[in-house]
Amino acid sequence: MKNLSLLFILLSSVVRSAEATSDIKIKPVWWRAPSQTKQLYVEGKDGKPAPVRILSMCILDSFEAASDKEVILLDRVEPIPGDKTSKVSWKTYASAAIPAGGHEWLMLLLPSTDGLSCQTRMMSLDESSLNWGGTRFTNFTNERLVGQIAGKPFSAAPGESITLPFTATRRSVVEVILAADGKTGRTIVFSSKGIFSPTKRTLLFIINGREPGTYETRAIEQPNPDPKAYEEEGADAKPVESSK
């Protein structure tokens, strides 16, 4: 009986440890850094703040979330000079709930009107959410946006994310056009030729610019990390079926 009790305790400990362990990856990126660039920290699994690298529209670095419910970025508050009783303290700079059903997330830090704080948006980077060669567009502006990619039309309401009606089957250059439907009519806000590949997923974002009536557009390319997904055939590199 004593051995059974010990086994139960060990099993309970393993279960709790498994529950506490998260394999959720977070990739945080600035859209536009605040007027005062900060060194932000993330609350680690040990409860201690650890510095985290915030990249500018690039998703190369990531950290493992301490919880599967929420990710919190911390701002370090330095001691008051000359005050011997003052100590380092921490305050929440940005936080976001982690939606269920994903293991890799992009945490976008979007600029607020005061230029000192930010808003957050979580977007899934899991393979099941967007096929390789596909493109997802997110409208962070206050207007409905319409556009074309490779001649195929699409539209997105404010705050809406849509998968565009275009999937790259070979590496190619296609034209992307975006227009805003405002009070004064339709205005072209973005027109460019982009490089699309079946071994990448493309995320397109647009927000209101610093000045009224202006817009800022960014694109993030997420390459397939599986080397088996590539066949070197010059400019027409094609993916093979990834191993599961």
Helix (H, G, I), strand (E, B) or coil at 150: coil
Q: Which two tokens stand for residue 161?
A: 């994310």
How far apart, in whole angstroms, are the C-alpha atoms of residue 215 and residue 142? 10
- The confidence score (pLDDT) of residue 239 equals 44
- The confidence score (pLDDT) of residue 157 equals 94
- Which amino acid would we find at residue 81? P
Helix (H, G, I), strand (E, B) or coil at 23: coil
- The confidence score (pLDDT) of residue 7 equals 33
Specify the DSSP class assigned to residue 66: S
- Across the 244 residues of the chain, what is the mean pLDDT of every consecutive 10-residue run? 39 38 82 74 84 79 88 88 84 90 88 74 82 90 89 91 88 89 80 88 87 84 77 45 41
Please report, for residues 77, 79, 81, 87, 90, the alpha-carbon distance to residue 84 in angstroms, rounded to integers and kept in the order given.
Answer: 15, 8, 8, 8, 18
- The confidence score (pLDDT) of residue 190 equals 84
- The confidence score (pLDDT) of residue 95 equals 92
Architecture of domain 130-232: Sandwich (2.60)
Of the candidate CATH numbers 3.40.50, 3.10.310, 1.10.150, 2.60.40, the domain formed by 23-128 belongs to 2.60.40
pTM: 0.74
Fold match between domain 23-128 and domain 130-232: yes
- Return the domain boundaries, the chain: 23-128, 130-232
- The confidence score (pLDDT) of residue 98 equals 93
